[in-house]
Amino acid sequence: MHRRVSSSLLVTCLLASLSVTCALACGAAPDKSDLRASVESSADAGVDSAPPLASTDQVEIVSGVPDHNRDPAVVAVRIGSDALCTGTLISPRLVLTARHCTSATVDAVACPASGVQVLGDRDPSTLSILVGDDVPSAHLVAHGVSVIAPSGVTLCDADIAIIVLDQPVKIVKPLPVRTHGVARGDRVRAVGYGREGDGQAAGTKMVREHVRVLSVTPSELTVGEATCSGDSGGPALDETTGEVVGVVSRGGPSCEGLGVHNIYTRVDAFSWLVDEAFAKVAGLDHDGATDGGAPATAPPHGTKQKPPSDVGAACEKGADCAAGICIKDMDGPYCSRPCGTGDRCPAHYHCQPVTGGATASACIAVP
């Protein structure tokens, strides 16, 4: 799932379609990264010196790979009969998503805002929550009963909303929300139901891992991956804990190509909104607790749930891998990811120079 954001932050792809097909969902490039596991070897703090160069097959811009139930708490948000966004269950009763998925908006959004961007709120009952790896076979599990969102009339720096559900979703475990922000250079995992590229269909949950955070503002973060219609509202997940750190807001100018970016609303900047939502659903089921055992009066802060990765999985080419790198090994090719100083490999992998693509070093399995 590639997603992009123009430097001018004009998101015609996003808000334009949202009013009709939720294209606003120029969503989050799926990114899966849980590879930050620390390694005991000091060599993994950087690139190992003087090893033989490994051969790779790489792709610089990847649409992602099928999620295959790696991220069950990431759900599809169907708007009316055919519009689509992505969301994340942060409680059996709450879905975190983008505000432009829950409101009627102008056709194009540029930031900073020059005028009103939010025209009104959608009827929450038209928001359907689907659980599954693709929309056609997904299970309808709940509808919206209300929406909690910032009160302003612009989306810039505030494109976030929480859908309160008419019944608890108990078949998947919710994800925790992180209370502190990300920093430039951090890596996140992106997941969404958006189109895999310009002109392609939406509806399959895709994941992209080890996506680098390029810049951070007090309310937003930018990553170097493009999104597409259907991804809006999808999460950026901390690659070591699984916590939600961002919500896809906009991207462009198209879904694929060089120089594209995604912009996410930082969840930690709206911790008050999350607290308000949890307070609203506290005790709705008269049991005082969520499925995960955390009090319904507070989000499940502190939960550590490392997202699964496909590092080490069999592959034929870079496009088969969530981080876009397939190592050509005599024992068989396997998926890997970039690495370098300050970007450690997982246990049992060393960072070594590679040939065959733009990435200079990748995580190589220890014999």
The answer to whether residues 252 and 301 belong to one domain is yes
The answer to whether residues 322 and 207 belong to one domain is no
The answer to whether residues 236 and 336 belong to one domain is no
DSSP three-state, residue 301: coil
The answer to whether residues 189 and 53 belong to one domain is no
331-343 in b/e burial notation, b at 16+ Cβ within 10 A?
Answer: eebbbbbbbeeeb
The answer to whether residue 339 is domain-embedded is yes
The answer to whether residues 130 and 46 belong to one domain is no
Give residue 53's pLDDT.
77
The answer to whether residue 319 is domain-embedded is yes
Of 305, 328, 345, the residue that ends a domain is 305
The answer to whether residues 211 and 229 belong to one domain is yes
Number of independent structural domains in the chain: 2
- Take residue 92 and report the two structure tokens written for it: 């059996």
In terms of Cβ atoms closer than 10 Å to its own Cβ (0-12, 13-18, 19+), residue 327 is buried
Question: Any bridge partners for residue 75, and if so which?
Answer: 87
The answer to whether residue 141 is domain-embedded is yes
The answer to whether residues 174 and 115 belong to one domain is yes
The answer to whether residue 37 is domain-embedded is no
The answer to whether residue 233 is domain-embedded is yes
The answer to whether residue 47 is domain-embedded is yes
CA distance 201 to 214: 28
Chunked in runs of 10, what are the mean pLDDT values of the chain (367 residues)? 35 36 36 29 45 76 82 95 91 97 89 92 96 94 97 95 96 93 92 68 84 94 74 91 93 68 94 95 62 39 70 93 92 93 91 88 93
Give residue 304's pLDDT.
60
> For the CA atoms of the chain, what is the radius of gyration?
20
Give residue 34's pLDDT.
32
- Take residue 300 and report the two structure tokens written for it: 């499940």
Which residues have a Cβ under 8 Å from the Cβ of 313 and sit 6 or more positions away? Answer: 321, 334, 335
Q: Which helix (H) or strand (E) holds 21?
A: helix 12-21
Which residues have a Cβ under 8 Å from the Cβ of 52 and sit 6 or more positions away? Answer: none
Give residue 254's pLDDT.
64
Give residue 196's pLDDT.
61
- Take residue 129 and report the two structure tokens written for it: 């929550």
The answer to whether residues 181 and 254 belong to one domain is yes
The answer to whether residues 257 and 311 belong to one domain is no
CA distance 262 to 248: 7
CA distance 3 to 208: 11
Give residue 51's pLDDT.
57
- Take residue 320 and report the two structure tokens written for it: 């088969």
The answer to whether residues 292 and 315 belong to one domain is no
The answer to whether residues 361 and 291 belong to one domain is no
CA distance 75 to 45: 36
Closest C-alpha among 229, 243, 234 to residue 182: 243
Domain containing 322: what range?
Answer: 42-65+307-365
How many alpha carbons fall within 13 Å on the CB side of residue 203?
Answer: 10
The answer to whether residues 260 and 312 belong to one domain is no
Question: pTM for this one?
Answer: 0.81
The answer to whether residue 133 is domain-embedded is yes
The answer to whether residue 53 is domain-embedded is yes
Of 254, 282, 305, the residue that ends a domain is 305
CATH code at position 276: 2.40.10.120
Give residue 13's pLDDT.
35
Give residue 255's pLDDT.
63
- The identity of residue 192, as a single letter, is G
